């Protein structure tokens, strides 16, 4: 999809939904001898989510897994719409869409594997990551440059804000005027 069309698709977005493993994380699952699982998130992605929320776009996650690490990270990022243990991701998507009274055109969904495919097709803006399976690239409207867990979510957040004209205000809040 060309850049101009992507910008048009990003303009009406009111809700960005992210898969967790392979999108908000690298996809690596670390198991200790105690059997505990830990995941690695990127600080840039977290900050991007905070900026996007500040710009007025709602953020949610839908993941098939259920872990305390994700619960904690979502709490830290103040993400209100958290669907964990969602085996049928599309029902979580429909639930959130109904709850926020949105149309598909107002929703961006980003995922990296086959369980995400129906949502990538359904959402107004379907996004995947460079290391996803080729089939994902075929159906997604956009593939980020950065890999999952390494800034891909930040890239999406900035793109949506730029398309909606809200990015400059975020940057200006940090700029020292007159320098």
Interface residues toward Mg ion, by CB under 5 A: 19, 21-22, 112-113
Q: Which is nearer to Mg ion, 58 or 113 (CB)?
A: 113
Considering the complex, what minimum distance in angstroms separates the CB of residue 19 from Mg ion?
4
Closest residue to Mg ion, based on beta-carbon distance: 22
Q: Which is nearer to Mg ion, 21 or 58 (CB)?
A: 21
d(CA 109, CA 86) in angstroms, rounded, equals: 15
Q: Which is nearer to Mg ion, 19 or 45 (CB)?
A: 19
Considering the complex, what minimum distance in angstroms separates the CB of residue 115 from Mg ion?
7
Considering the complex, what minimum distance in angstroms separates the CB of residue 33 from Mg ion?
26
Q: Which is nearer to Mg ion, 45 or 164 (CB)?
A: 45
Residue 60, judged by CB atoms within 10 A of its CB (0-12, 13-18, 19+), counts as buried
Q: Which is nearer to Mg ion, 23 or 163 (CB)?
A: 23
Considering the complex, what minimum distance in angstroms separates the CB of residue 24 from Mg ion?
9
Considering the complex, what minimum distance in angstroms separates the CB of residue 109 from Mg ion?
12
Residue position matching structure tokens 């109904």: 98
């Amino acid at each position: 999809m060309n850049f101009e069309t992507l910008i048009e698709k990003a303009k009406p977005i009111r809700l960005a939904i992210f898969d967790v493993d392979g999108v908000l994380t690298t996809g690596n699952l670390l198991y200790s001898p105690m059997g505990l699982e830990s995941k690695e998130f990127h600080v840039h992605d977290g900050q991007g989510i905070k900026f996007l929320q500040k710009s007025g776009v709602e953020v949610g996650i839908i993941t098939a897994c259920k872990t305390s690490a994700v619960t904690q990270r979502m709490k830290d990022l103040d993400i209100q719409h958290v669907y964990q243990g969602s085996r049928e991701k599309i029902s979580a998507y429909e639930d959130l869409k109904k709850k926020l009274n949105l149309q598909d055109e107002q929703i961006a969904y980003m995922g990296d594997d086959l369980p995400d495919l129906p949502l990538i097709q359904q959402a107004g803006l379907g996004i995947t990551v460079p290391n996803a399976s080729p089939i994902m690239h075929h159906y997604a409207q956009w593939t980020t440059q950065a890999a999952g867990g390494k800034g891909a979510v930040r890239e999406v957040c900035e793109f949506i804000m730029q398309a909606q004209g809200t990015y400059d205000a975020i940057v200006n809040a940090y700029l020292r005027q007159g320098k």
